[in-house]
Each structure stands twice: as structure tokens, then as C-alpha cells.
């Protein structure tokens, strides 16, 4: 059933359900698994490195695929790898300063809900297109929303709802927030 509002309804919960965009935006598995892997690394922020094997088991993603994803995020400076016994992956900075938008841009590129907004594809009809500005505004709102959400928000189990262009945060009830330490 379609949402009657023109906005998007996005709900993130503590079980790392990622994004539900009523068929308008499809994230690849790379983007979805990347956010889930970052959630696991953020969970261990105060404890130290988390192994790729732990992430793989908790999120049910293959180690080989995670290696590709985490290498991209490491090269981007979002995470660091620690070599040797007791090694693994750690966040490069506080979970409150890493946005979901930054993670997804590294893994997926810019939000381009139509091919005309994709800088790699472009569109010859941009100047005369009646819907170009609509799709551009929607893409900007999605990017803005994702840039406001952080790993800390996922750890706390915050819910985000954007129903009519209003981006907000709704704190979950007492006792449902995640602890940084496991």
C-alpha cells in the first residue's frame, strides 16, 4: 500500500534494519551490508577492534564480501584496521561524528534516484524537463536526512521518521538504547 504523504517514511531500529524507501531508492547490498558492518564496529567502539569474522557471524554476510566493503571504508578514512593478534577494525572517530550518509556515499556514490541525476549518466533533457527539479529536490532531501543520522543514533536505537518533509528524531523508550560496551 502506498503512503498517502508525499514524504518518505524511514524507520531504523536496533536490529539494524536499514532503509525502507517505498520502492523509490534501492541500495545495493554493498550499501546495506556496509551500514550493518559499521554498526557492529561502532558497538565495539569503547572496547577495541572487532574482527571481520565477528561482523560476518553477527550480520550473516560473507567474509569475502565484507573484506571488499571494509577496504573501501578504510581507504576513505572512516575506519582503521589493526593488524596482528587482537586486531580487527575500529572507527576512525567517534560514532556520533560518522553519518550514515558518509558511509553510503563511499560505498554507493551520490544519491541519484533517476539516471538524469547521476553525474556519470547525465540527461540531455535536463533544461526542459518538468520533473528534473522534483527528483533533484527529493535526492537532496534524502542526502540531508542520511547526513543527519549517525552511527550513535543506530546504537541508541533511535527511530527516524520523515513523513512530510520534516526530518526528526524520536528517542526510543528508556531501557532500549544500546550500550557502546557489549
Q: What is the pLDDT of residues 87-136, one digit of tens each?
A: 999 999 999 999 999 999 999 887 777 666 666 666 777 677 787 788 88
Residue 156 lies in a domain: yes
CB 132 within 8 A of CB 116: yes
Residue 23 lies in a domain: no
Residue 166 lies in a domain: yes
Task: Over range 30-49, report the average pLDDT.
Answer: 94
| pLDDT in the model for residue 117 | 66
| pLDDT in the model for residue 25 | 58
SS3 at position 94: coil
**How many distinct structural domains can be found in the chain?**
1
Residue 180 lies in a domain: no
pLDDT band at 43 (very low <50, low <70, confident <90, very high): very high
| pLDDT in the model for residue 115 | 67
What confidence tens digit (pLDDT) does each residue in 130-178 have? Answer: 877 888 888 888 888 899 999 999 888 765 554 344 444 444 444 333 3
| pLDDT in the model for residue 121 | 65
What stretches of 8-146 adopt beta strand conformation (E)? 79-82, 88-91
What confidence tens digit (pLDDT) does each residue in 50-100 have? Answer: 999 999 999 999 999 999 999 999 999 999 999 988 899 999 999 999 999
pTM of the model: 0.71
The CATH number of the domain holding residue 166 is 1.10.10.10
| pLDDT in the model for residue 94 | 96
pLDDT band at 42 (very low <50, low <70, confident <90, very high): very high
Beta bridge partners, 115, equal: none
Q: Cα–Cα distances in Å, from 160 out to 1, 19, 49, 118?
A: 20, 10, 28, 26
| pLDDT in the model for residue 73 | 97
CA distance 135 to 113: 7
Angle at 146 between CA 168 and CA 111, to 5 degrees: 135
Please say whether the dihedral angle defined by the alpha carbons of residues 110, 111, 117 and 118, taken in this order, is positive or negative.
positive
Q: Which three cell numbers stand for residue 91?
A: 572507527
Residue 86 lies in a domain: yes
| pLDDT in the model for residue 34 | 96
Residue 102 lies in a domain: yes
Beta bridge partners, 161, equal: 168
Q: What's the domain range around 161? A: 29-170
Amino acid at each position: 500500500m502506498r503512503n498517502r504523504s508525499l514524504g518518505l517514511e524511514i524507520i531504523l531500529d536496533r536490529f539494524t534494519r536499514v532503509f525502507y524507501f517505498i520502492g523509490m531508492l534501492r541500495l545495493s547490498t554493498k550499501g546495506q551490508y556496509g551500514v550493518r558492518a559499521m554498526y557492529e564496529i561502532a558497538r565495539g567502539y569503547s572496547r577495541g577492534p572487532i574482527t571481520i569474522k565477528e561482523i560476518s557471524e553477527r550480520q550473516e554476510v560473507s567474509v569475502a564480501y565484507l573484506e571488499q566493503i571494509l577496504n573501501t571504508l578504510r581507504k576513505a578514512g572512516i575506519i582503521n584496521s589493526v593488524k596482528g593478534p587482537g586486531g580487527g577494525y575500529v572507527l576512525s572517530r567517534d560514532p556520533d561524528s560518522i553519518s550514515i550518509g558518509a558511509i553510503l556515499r563511499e560505498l554507493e556514490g551520490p544519491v541519484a534516484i533517476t539516471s538524469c541525476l547521476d553525474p556519470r549518466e547525465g540527461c540531455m533533457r535536463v533544461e526542459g524537463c518538468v520533473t528534473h527539479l522534483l527528483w533533484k529536490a527529493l535526492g537532496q532531501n534524502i542526502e540531508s536526512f542520511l547526513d543527519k543520522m549517525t552511527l550513535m543514533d543506530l546504537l541508541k536505537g533511535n527511530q527516524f521518521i520523515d513523513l512530510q518533509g520534516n526530518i526528526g528524531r524520536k528517542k526510543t523508550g528508556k531501557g532500549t538504547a544500546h550500550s557502546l560496551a557489549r
